[in-house]
Amino acid sequence: MAIGAKKNLLVILSDEHNPKALGCAGHPFAHTPNLDALAARGTRFTAAITPSPICVPARAALATGQTLHAMGRYHDNADPYDGGVRSWHHALREAGHEVVSIGKLHFRGLPGDDHGFSEERLAMHVVDGKGDLLALVRDETAPPRKGAAKMSAAAGPGESDYTRYDRDICADAQVWLRARAKQAAEKPWCLFVSLVTPHFPLIAPPEHFFRYPPEVVGMPKLYAKEERPQHPFIRDYAATIPYDSHVKDAATAQRMMAGYYGLVSFMDEQVGKILACLEDCGLGTETRVLYASDHGDNVGARGLWGKSVMYEESVGVPMILAGAGVPGGSTCATPVSLTDVFATVLDAVGCAEAPPEGSGSLFDIARGGSPGRRVVSEYHASGSREAAYMLREGRWKYVRYVTYPAQLFDLEADPEELADLAGDPAHAATLARLEAALGDELGEDPAVLDAGVKARQAAILAANGGREAVLARGDLPFSPPPGVRPSWS
């Protein structure tokens, strides 16, 4: 669909931003004035999801425009993107566009890997080109992750390696933009700025942390033990990644919430600085802006912290598109995914290459294209004994497991996902229809896909010395920024 003149594109990606933690999304206290202003002049996609609610697979799918089951690889944090599947970075560079990344990529990053960018600045990749090998141990023998204790212990006011890293990323983005503004470009460029907050550690600069005292944050949704859902997939996750077992009281939970929302506001501040620089150096009218996150964060809802589950707090992502050809001050309820970034980037800069099947341009979708659209997410990583697959279609969310009971939510009537309708006979026809639709999207039985993923993971585990060697390597709660040594548990 024609969107007018070809223009530059600034893509800003955050890490672990709960889609509900936005003022423009109606959150009661999240302070995000810069993202709110971006949404006010663009379109916010209210049904955006991640292809997988964990960093490495999500970022691989974002790069390639393909789902995990379509690629047959990059399923977990120990199977990082290596440039082996064509990315939109490759497409733009080969078409003569400058395409630069600044910040976190979380790719394999070994010598000789070509991720497709013209330049990678301040790049964070997985540790040792291997990543989180503990993610490969998924059966009942998987021990609780030791790094989980660090989330609650660290939460509070201050600076961390991550906030310092994001300040560096923000500064370098401004340096790049100002230099670029002084140079003539033969073709539109794309700058990919990837921030690492609000990913834990939940240490937020004081001016942001203290914006969220206990009387403001309250307590997480469905936090009381008797309120929490008892689905077996959730029990598996909570047993393997036991964040909440280290939360001793309400004050600890509230301190963690203050840290998280403080990081959201800190991240919004960095976004504001980058967008202000874009305008100040005269590139605003020539550049479209896309904001998203790689996945969300539960922030204590249902007793869960981190990501990895199919509730909206985790599998949903914020997504905002602004600039020429985009309806202003609008929302779009059509389901979209990070895989749609591929087609959107090509459309924005005028690259003629055809995107992968299923990757749709957000410009077209924002204008009412693709009615009846479906998107899929899947999870095969740490804390899961079996795979989870999620289908979003209109108001419906259907979650399918290999042997565990399915889940069904009507997100129009029940946006907080308080009522699982899968066992309600009144919704049996809807459940059956969505089961068939998911099968069409996956192209394979979920059990067969799950077995194939586990076989690949077993091979990677064996190549790294097996289970005992991986356990001896230790637990790394989060990847360190460039120049910082890993801190193993």
The CATH classification number of 8-373+466-473 equals 3.40.720.10
Q: Which positions ≥6 away from 106 have C-beta within 8 Å?
A: 55, 56, 59, 80, 81, 124, 125, 126, 479
Report the chain's terminal Cα–Cα distance, integer Å: 51
Mean pLDDT of 257-267: 98
Contact assessment for residue 459 and residue 473, using Cβ atoms and an 8 Å cutoff = no
49-91 pLDDT tens trace? 999 999 999 999 999 999 999 999 999 999 999 999 999 999 9
C-alpha dihedral (106, 108, 109, 113), degrees to nearest 10: -130
pLDDT grade for 489, boundaries at 50, 70 and 90: confident
Write down the H helix ranges in 385-445. Answer: 428-442
Residue 330 has pLDDT above 50, yes or no: yes
The pTM score is: 0.98
Contact assessment for residue 187 and residue 349, using Cβ atoms and an 8 Å cutoff = yes
Per cent of the chain over pLDDT 90 is 95
Residue 234 has pLDDT above 90, yes or no: yes
Length reported for the chain: 489
Mean pLDDT of 249-258: 98
From the number of C-beta atoms within 10 Å of its C-beta (0-12, 13-18, 19+), residue 241 rates as buried
Mean pLDDT of 224-244: 95
pLDDT grade for 2, boundaries at 50, 70 and 90: low
pLDDT of residue 1: 42
DSSP string, 198-255: ESSS-EE-HHHHTTS-HHHH---TT-STTTS---HHHHHHHHHS-GGGG--SHHHHHH
How do strand 319-322 and strand 42-45 relate by DSSP bridges? antiparallel
pLDDT grade for 371, boundaries at 50, 70 and 90: confident
pLDDT of residue 141: 83
Tokens 């199919």 — which residue? 310
Cα(307)–Cα(62) distance, integer angstroms: 17
88-143 pLDDT tens trace? 999 999 999 999 999 999 999 999 999 999 999 999 999 999 999 999 999 988 88
Residue 6 has pLDDT above 50, yes or no: yes
- Chain mean pLDDT for the chain: 96
Cα(317)–Cα(377) distance, integer angstroms: 12
Tokens 């009846």 — which residue? 372
Mean pLDDT of 461-484: 94
Extract the tokens encoding 427.
């919704």
pLDDT of residue 3: 75
Mean pLDDT of 348-369: 95
pLDDT of residue 4: 75
Cα(368)–Cα(286) distance, integer angstroms: 24
For 442, 455, 458, the CA distances from 72, given in Å and listed in that order, are 11, 11, 14
